[in-house]
């Protein structure tokens, strides 16, 4: 769970881009990681008090900026795995929405703890494989040993790159959620999983170690 929390923080680090700025050209995955990391760290370190005290401020940052940068549909499809094919359009839409809200709820409140991190992009000549691209980095958090973090991107039909997975010290966020959620769906149902996440997001259920 600790590595998943770090994964979420790193995903926020990745998705934070220039607010309201139109992209003049398609950025490479390395450029996205470098530029967004620098900006997010600057904001965390200059707005740390507000981030810690104003939950709505953090929520609005994450909610307004995450969608253009992250391929939520690919994330949801990979997480649900075999259950995606049998899901209705409504179930798919509901799962994507509640999963997005879960990420915001779980990780936004911990953003301030990410200040003063150091991120080094490791050259990866074989990073691109077709429409997929893996950016390797090493992340050092204050008082903790370095983490090997891979950002996995997928090129969209409009040629832009969007991230859909993080691999932290060998732990894939997608694979971890897929294992946990698949077992739960088989024991209950997809609707039950969606309802449980929704109840946690709205504060109607006490969160457990499952998410």
Per-residue pLDDT of the chain (211 residues; tens, 9 = 90+): 556 555 656 665 555 544 444 445 788 999 988 887 887 787 777 887 888 788 788 777 777 666 677 899 999 999 999 999 999 999 999 999 999 888 887 766 666 667 677 889 999 988 999 999 999 999 888 778 899 999 999 999 999 999 999 999 999 999 999 999 999 999 999 999 999 999 998 887 655 556 6
Domains of the chain: 2-17+25-201 (3.10.450.710)
Q: How far apart are CA 205 and CA 197, in angstroms?
A: 9
pTM of the model: 0.80
Residue 18 burial class via C-beta count within 10 angstroms: exposed 0-12, middle 13-18, buried 19 and up: exposed
């Amino acid at each position: 769970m600790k590595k998943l929390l770090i994964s979420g923080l790193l995903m926020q680090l990745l998705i934070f881009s220039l607010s309201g700025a139109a992209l003049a050209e398609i950025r490479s995955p390395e450029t996205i990681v470098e530029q967004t990391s620098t900006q997010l760290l600057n904001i965390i370190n200059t707005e740390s008090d507000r981030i810690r005290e104003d939950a709505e401020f953090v929520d609005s940052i994450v909610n307004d900026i995450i969608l253009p940068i992250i391929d939520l549909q690919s994330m949801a499809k990979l997480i649900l795995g075999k259950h995606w094919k049998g899901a209705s359009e409504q179930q798919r839409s509901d799962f994507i929405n509640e999963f997005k809200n879960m990420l915001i709820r779980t990780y936004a409140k911990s953003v301030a703890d990410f200040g003063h991190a150091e991120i080094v992009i490791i050259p990866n000549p074989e990073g691109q494989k077709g429409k997929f691209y893996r950016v390797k980095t090493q992340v050092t958090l204050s008082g903790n040993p370095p983490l090997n973090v891979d950002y996995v991107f997928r090129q969209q039909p409009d040629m832009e790159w969007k991230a859909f997975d993080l691999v932290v010290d060998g732990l894939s966020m997608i694979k971890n959620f897929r294992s946990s959620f698949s077992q739960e769906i088989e024991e209950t149902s997809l609707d039950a999983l969606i309802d449980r996440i929704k109840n946690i997001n709205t504060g109607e259920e006490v969160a457990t170690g499952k998410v």
